[in-house]
Copies of this chain bind each other. A is one copy, B any other.
Amino acid sequence: MNIGILGSGIVAKTIAGKLDSLGHAVKLGTRDVQATLARSEPDMAGGPPLRTWLETHPRVTLVTHDEAAAHGELVINALSGQGAIPGLRSVARRLAGKILIDVSNPLDFSNGFPPSLTVANTDSLGEQIQRELPDTRVVKTLNTVNAFLMIEPAQLAGGDHTMLVCGNDAAAKAQVTRLLKEGFGWKDVVDAGDITNARGTEMYVVLWARLFGALNTPMFNIKLVR
């Protein structure tokens, strides 16, 4: 299917590479295509700059946010926490009626690592996005793990751990759950409820960041034992 991914960072390209390998037609959206292609430094995980990555993924194209959002029957928000609302607002009319998978977190690194959140406790970025896009079916998921685990959970303990989804539209959650299971290989996907539960999964990320510090690896996740 046609999938648009908003963002050009590690999460965006990791998901793009996986969806491309699954046979989907993927377009990555960025604010300024030429500026993004001009970047020559490695990404934050030491991977190649996007222009090099695109050479090894010739079916994936880098376009504007607007083109990526228009292209996608399904759209994924992989923008930064700060970039999410302005980026999505600029393409709101392209997203009407569509499913938007929101993988972003409202991380605040202004005091360094570990981060706090820019919104928490009585609201969440997922809810802000749903309010900004009332005609879009927002499904929050994947924001609780490292990019590499998002698309290949079997890398850790054979996939014996849990992914949460939340959102207001049951059919949208069911479709995203199928993608997570059949596309990415998640074995245990739990519906955590409506979009207000984004508060829970985003606030968990504060614990995640601190466990990352304690465990000294980002390759971990929680299994919901019940």
- Contacts from A to B (Cβ < 8 Å): 116-117, 120-122, 156-157, 160-161, 190-193, 196-197, 199-201, 203-204, 206-211, 213-215, 217, 219-226
Residue pairs across A and B with Cβ atoms less than 8 A apart, 17 shown, are A116-B199, A121-B121, A161-B223, A161-B225, A190-B214, A190-B215, A192-B207, A197-B210, A199-B206, A199-B210, A203-B206, A203-B207, A215-B226, A220-B224, A220-B225, A221-B225, A222-B225
The distance from the CB of A185 to the nearest CB of chain B, in whole angstroms, is 15
B199, A214: Cβ atoms closer than 8 Å = no
CA distance A209 to B204 in the complex (A): 12
A157, B203: Cβ atoms closer than 8 Å = no
Number of copies: 2
Q: Which secondary structure dominates chain A's binding surface?
A: mixed
Task: Provide the residues of chain B in CB contact with A121, threshold 8 Å.
Answer: 116-117, 120-121, 203, 206
**Beyond A116-B122, A192-B211, is A157–B225 a contact (Cβ under 8 Å)?**
yes
Q: Looking across the interface, which residue of chain B has its beta carbon closest to that of A197?
A: B210
Q: Looking across the interface, which residue of chain B has its beta carbon closest to that of A200?
A: B207
Task: Provide the residues of chain B in CB contact with A207, threshold 8 Å.
Answer: 192, 197, 200-201, 203-204
A210, B219: Cβ atoms closer than 8 Å = no
A210, B200: Cβ atoms closer than 8 Å = yes
CA distance A101 to B162 in the complex (A): 29
Q: Looking across the interface, which residue of chain B has its beta carbon closest to that of A226?
A: B220
CA distance A122 to B120 in the complex (A): 10
The distance from the CB of A222 to the nearest CB of chain B, in whole angstroms, is 4
A214, B226: Cβ atoms closer than 8 Å = no
Task: Provide the residues of chain B in CB contact with A197, threshold 8 Å.
Answer: 207, 210, 214
**Beyond A120-B121, A120-B203, is A210–B193 a contact (Cβ under 8 Å)?**
yes
